[in-house]
Chain A
Amino acid sequence: MKWTYNNRANAIYFIIAAFLLLLPFVHDSRSLFILLTQVFIFSIFAMSYDLLLGFTGIVSFGHAMYFGIGAYAIGVFMKRYEPTNLNFVLAILTTILLTAIISFFVGLLTLRLKSHFYAMLTLSLSGLFLVLAEKWRTLTYGNDGFTFRVPEILKDRTDFYFICLICMIAVFLILSRFTNSPVGRVLQAIRENEQRTESLGYQVLHYKIIASIISGIFAGIAGILYAVSLRFVNTSVFALDITLDALLMTIIGGVGTLVGAIIGAGLIEFAHHWLTALAKEHWIFERWIIFFGIIYILAVMFFPLGIVGTLKSINWKRRKKPDVKKEEKLAG
């Protein structure tokens, strides 16, 4: 039964992916593609966040840090050196290295302590990166940021749309494979009951650090794509808003389900687009984030599973009932 359910879900994912892949051939709306590209990029970011929050139960408030490192790495490389493919690859490698090192040390420092500390330290550390990006003017050009050129292969918007879509699908596949791997199972066990996992003989800290590093690297990659899509980078990539976006997307979409992160990213990005367009009608829509803040609080209180989780639990109940009856009959 589990198999058929998975199969159906896979079929749905496949149809959606195929639809998104074919869309550019039948439809031609530049703004829609740019918006969808943003959705894909933030989906990667939200999925990387989901690995921490949803699968390991770690709350990070500094995820923008990795995102910003990726964005600045690509920006600085493309600005300082020729925008060649080689330099692009070098920038990706630098991002992976930097995010891995930083997430390793952040994890090492705080993951052995209570969850408060991790949230607090990541929040302050991302604040530190924001200040660093503002002050290190020779490298970052301060608050104004800078534009840069991108390699030839990334210039075309439609091609970039495909690249982002493929990246998103790849990250989704990698992370769903990872969360179902033995390591991923241990992470979920940590989320459910840390003491118990520890007493079963697992080095909880090591596993948490692994989750922190992998999540950091993927967030960095999302940052690279984001900077390339804008061809511009400034200090806003380190702002708390970016972390909040990831939080809203993951919580509203559904924690612990990678699909939820994608759905959440789509919802938030489209809502952002439409609501800012509505700002001309009434000024309250300029503060559109407030609606999402309220929805977010309500979601944390009443629907901690989010959209996908709630849907899944409904399905599960419907499926489970006949089984229970059968068992009762057998017992009777």
Chain B
Amino acid sequence: MDVLLNLSLNGLATGMLIFLLAAGLTLILGLMDVLNFAHGGLFAWGAYSGIWIYSKTGSFFIGILGAILVGFLLGILTERWIIKPVYGNHVQQILITLGLMLVLSEMLKVVWGPNQISANPPDYLVGSWEIGGVIIIKYRLFIIFVGLLVFAAVQFLLSKTKIGLVVRAGVMNKEMVQALGINIQKVFMFVFMIGAGMAALGGVLLGPYSGVIHAEMGLEFAILAFIVVVIGGMGNFKGSLLAAALVGLSGSFMAYYVPDLALAANMLLMAVVLVFRPQGLFGMKG
């Protein structure tokens, strides 16, 4: 029983990290029709800069804030200089964002060196609680909590505020929103910034969770995030949360029972979804 619970918690925690990455990806894809292959690079940048600030200041909270700020900044720069010149051309977009991914991860190695960096959770998140014979690691609960908080915040932003309305309308019909006199460019930039910030937050949370961070982890998580985007449906924010939980759980259970097939199971799920429901498991339109 406690094995099952622990695996579930573990899977949910990983799922939340993937969600933070995939949510930005799916929003950007839905609104701007841009698949940002550099998203994993933003994730890794968030991790490195956040952990660096954390180690300098000694406060994990400031580290998280710093990572989010770095994410915002990189998001704005990326949108301005890299994505904007090639709007509307899919092939160029895909190519250029992958190039950016390459540059971002190499830049990481230039700034912080090619070796992996270790990261530990702050004192108040070390250790575990024991509830009824079940050991629950604090940091995992913390990640799940932060993930749900971000989900609630972005969900509120999307459903209750003016800008959220514009974003949702933009996902449905970009030209119409523009015709109504709204500067869609600014909305694009805002969404990109939020997406990059979420990715960076995911990165910095991953640091103490896995213990070490390295430049290649961006790509590893980006692959999982792509799977989530496909399963959850492109541009579907709620779908990405469910799909991320699904991918995280299946990853953690498979890793325990059949470790060699962990990634294969998720890939298979994605292939099945692609064949039968290309609009995603939780997609609405056919």
Which residues of A approach B to under 8 Å, CB–CB?
53, 57, 59, 61, 109-110, 113-117, 119-121, 123-125, 127-128, 131-132, 135, 240, 244, 247, 251, 284, 286-287, 289-290, 293-294, 296-297, 300-301, 304
* Number of A-B residue pairs having CB atoms within 8 Å of each other in the complex: 94
- Distance between Cα atoms of A221 and B94 in the complex (Å): 27
**B148 on interface, CB distance cutoff 8 Å:** no
Quick check: which of B10-18, B117-125, B196-204, B270-278 contacts chain A, the rest being far away?
B270-278
Task: Assess whether B175 is interfacial by the CB under 8 Å rule.
Answer: no
Q: Is the CB of A247 within 8 A of B263?
A: no
The binding surface of chain A is classed by DSSP as helix
Choose one: A124, A128, A297; the contact of B226 (CB below 8 Å): A124
**Interface residues of B: mostly helix, strand, loop or mixed?**
helix
Given A287-B106, A290-B103, A297-B82, A247 and B274 contact (CB-CB distance below 8 Å): no
A297 to B82, CA, bound (A): 8
Q: For window 42-62 of chain B, which residues contact chain A by CB distance below 8 Å?
A: none
Q: Would A135 and B267 count as touching, CB distance under 8 A? A: no
Known: A290-B110, A297-B96. A124 touches B270 (CB 8 A): yes
8 A Cβ contacts from B263-286 to A: 263-264, 267, 270-271, 274-275, 278
Is the CB–CB distance between B263 and A301 below 8 Å?
no
By the criterion CB–CB under 8 Å, are B86 and A120 in contact? no
* Contacting residues, chain B, for A247 (C-beta < 8 A): 95, 98
A–B pairs, 17, beta carbons within 8 Å: A61-B37, A61-B98, A110-B274, A115-B90, A125-B267, A131-B263, A247-B95, A289-B102, A290-B102, A293-B103, A293-B106, A297-B100, A300-B86, A300-B96, A301-B85, A301-B92, A301-B96
- Which residues of B are found within 8 Å of A240, using beta-carbon distances? 219
CA A301 to CA B91, docked complex, whole Å: 12
Contact in complex: B35, A119 (CB < 8 Å): yes
Q: With A127-B223, A297-B96, A297-B99 as given contacts, are A113 and B263 in contact (CB-CB < 8 Å)?
A: no
CA distance A131 to B260 in the complex (A): 8
Which residues of B are found within 8 Å of A244, using beta-carbon distances?
98, 102
Q: Name the interface residues of B211-237: CB closer than 8 Å to any CB of A.
A: 219-220, 223, 226-227, 229-230, 234
Closest A residue to B100 by beta carbon equals A297
Q: Could you tell me the distance between the alpha carbons of A286 and B123 in the complex, rounded to whole angstroms?
A: 38
Interface residues of B in 171-227 (CB under 8 A from A): 219-220, 223, 226-227
Question: Which A residues are in CB contact (< 8 Å) with B100?
Answer: 297
Top 4 nearest A-B pairs (CB, nearest first) are A293-B103, A290-B106, A293-B102, A116-B35
Q: Are A135 and B260 in contact, with the CB atoms below 8 A?
A: yes
Other contacts beyond A120-B229, A287-B109: 13, CB < 8 A:
A110-B274, A120-B230, A121-B274, A123-B223, A125-B267, A131-B263, A135-B260, A284-B110, A293-B103, A296-B99, A300-B86, A300-B95, A300-B99
For the complex, what is the distance from the CA of A120 to the CA of B92, rounded to whole Å? 15
On chain A, the residues within 8 Å of B260 by CB distance are 135
Q: Which residue of A lies closest to B279 (CB)?
A: A113
Among B29, B95, B264, contact of A59 (Cβ-Cβ < 8 Å) = B95
A57 touches B267 (CB 8 A): no
Q: Which residues of B contact A304 (CB under 8 A)?
A: 92
A128 in complex: contacting residue of B29, B98, B264, CB < 8 Å:
B264
Contacts of A57 in B (CB 8 A): 91
Q: Of B37, B90, B270, which one neighbours A121 at CB under 8 angstroms? A: B270
List residues of chain B with CB within 8 A of the CB of A59.
Answer: 91, 94-95
